[in-house]
């Protein structure tokens, strides 16, 4: 990376989130194509990075792109351009599939260009946007060469049928729906287990405690486990350890986790939210179920748990589908073209 990047991608949140995950996985790939750096706290060393103070004081010799993905980052871009007189073209990527607040709509109107992660997200922007679907790095997310050995190394049962659900522990993610499915399914399937990863925020502590009490009352605490928030490299290894992924969210902006699971040759059962209907081939690379429908979720999970050859074939099909249509290199190239178009403006 050059000392003076052409593109700055702020990440103004220390804890792992979907946006942070996007920055972590995407910028190293983009850096092969254009001089780009992240700025902000808590990013791993492999991500090209400059301090925020330096981003605010880069020379005014030419235009650069400020690529925001959060309201705070859009607002900071405006401050840098209008108060500090930095020469930034302002770009915003939106994944939200809902009507934006008045403040967010105002921020969006100030941007020079917009990207949406799905056609549905684009429809809420009230301005033209380039639709660029997320991709996944198929060189990082790969099937485990020895899943049993990996599980032993992670402290997981090497002989289990392991279902995973990754993301913050809250009702929006449908965690309670998957817990209920586990309470229904696991007593008759002694090999089946469920692992959740993700942070429990204080406002969701009571929600998580109630779920864990139900699990304990059913005698399944050793088979339905909450592993907490994991470092990025450990999260990837836990994807590789799975037999099946579940994404029963009630609402989702895009939803990258089924792609990450698929790249590890793991099929997904997901609700019809976010971009899941685009990412999952129903019946071939996993299953799609109605939103907030615990019985349908339970039935779909049972189908894959009880069909070992079908589940393995679906995982292989999922990996092939991601490699062909959702590789991160395509997302990186499309975004770099947006950057170049902005930089070429008079």
Average pLDDT over residues 87-93: 97
Question: pTM of the entire structure?
Answer: 0.82
- In the sheet that 36-39 helps form, which strands lie side by side, from edge to edge? 36-39, 7-10, 64-68, 88-94, 113-116, 130-131
Residue spans per domain, the chain: 7-135+327-343, 147-325
pLDDT band at 320 (very low <50, low <70, confident <90, very high): very high
Quickly list H helices, 218-256.
232-240
- How does the average pLDDT of the chain come out, rounded? 94
257 phi, psi to nearest 5 deg: -60, -40
Average pLDDT over residues 128-135: 93
* pLDDT above 90 coverage of the chain, percent: 84
Token look-up 């989130």 returns 17
Question: Would you tell me how many other CB atoms lie within 10 Å of the CB of residue 343?
Answer: 15
Fold adopted by 147-325: Rossmann fold (3.40.50)
Instruction: Give the pLDDT of residue 97.
Output: 82
First to last CA, the chain: 25
DSSP state of 206: H
Residue of higher predicted confidence among 70 and 120: 70
Average pLDDT over residues 326-330: 92
Query: At a CB cut-off of 8 Å and minimum separation 6, what does 106 contact?
Result: none
Do the domains at 7-135+327-343 and 147-325 have one common CATH topology? yes
Instruction: Give the pLDDT of residue 16.
Output: 63
Q: How far apart are CA 143 and CA 138, in angstroms?
A: 9
Q: How does pLDDT run across 32-87, given as a tens digit for each residue? A: 999 999 999 878 888 999 999 999 999 999 999 999 999 999 999 999 999 999 99
Q: Would you say residue 2 has pLDDT above 60?
A: no
Give DSSP secondary structure letters for 268-333: EEEES-TTHHHH--BTTTEEEE-TT-HHHHHHHHHHHHT-HHHHHHHHHHHHHHHHHH-BHHHHHH
Q: How does pLDDT run across 261-280, given as a tens digit for each residue? A: 999 999 999 999 878 988 89
Instruction: Give the pLDDT of residue 333.
Output: 96
pLDDT band at 1 (very low <50, low <70, confident <90, very high): very low
CATH superfamily of 7-135+327-343: Glycogen Phosphorylase B; (3.40.50.2000)
Element holding 212 (H helix, E strand): helix 205-217
pLDDT band at 118 (very low <50, low <70, confident <90, very high): confident
């Amino acid at each position: 990376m050059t000392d003076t990047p052409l593109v700055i991608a702020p990440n103004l949140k220390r804890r792992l989130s979907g946006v942070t995950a996007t920055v972590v996985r995407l910028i190293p790939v983009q850096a092969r194509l254009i001089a780009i750096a992240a700025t902000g706290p808590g990013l791993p060393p492999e991500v090209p990075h400059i301090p925020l103070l330096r981003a605010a004081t880069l020379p005014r010799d030419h235009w650069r792109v400020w690529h925001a993905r959060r309201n705070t980052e859009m607002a900071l871009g405006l401050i840098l351009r209008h108060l500090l007189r930095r020469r930034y073209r302002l770009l915003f990527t939106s994944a939200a599939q809902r009507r934006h607040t008045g403040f967010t709509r105002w921020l969006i109107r100030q941007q020079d260009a917009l990207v949406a992660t799905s056609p549905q997200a684009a429809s809420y922007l009230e301005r033209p946007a380039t639709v660029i679907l997320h991709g996944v790095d198929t060189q990082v997310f790969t099937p485990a060469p020895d899943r049993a050995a990996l599980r032993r190394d992670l402290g997981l049962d090497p002989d289990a049928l392991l279902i995973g659900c990754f993301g913050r522990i809250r009702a929006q993610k449908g965690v309670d729906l998957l817990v209920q499915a586990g309470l229904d399914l696991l007593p008759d399937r002694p090999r089946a287990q469920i692992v959740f990863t993700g942070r429990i925020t204080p406002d969701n502590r009571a929600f998580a405690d109630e779920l864990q009490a139900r699990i304990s009352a059913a005698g399944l605490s050793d088979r339905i486990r909450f592993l907490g928030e994991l470092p990025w490299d450990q999260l990837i290894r836990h994807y590789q350890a799975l037999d099946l992924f579940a994404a029963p969210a009630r609402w989702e902006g895009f939803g990258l986790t089924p792609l990450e699971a698929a790249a590890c040759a793991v099929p997904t059962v997901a609700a019809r939210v976010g971009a899941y209907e685009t990412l999952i081939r129903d019946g071939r690379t996993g299953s799609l179920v109605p939103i907030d429908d615990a019985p349908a979720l339970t039935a779909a999970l049972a189908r894959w748990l009880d069909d070992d050859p079908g589940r393995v074939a679906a995982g292989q099909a999922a990996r092939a589908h991601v490699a062909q249509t959702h590789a991160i290199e395509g997302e990186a190239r499309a975004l770099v073209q947006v950057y170049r178009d902005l930089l070429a403006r008079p």
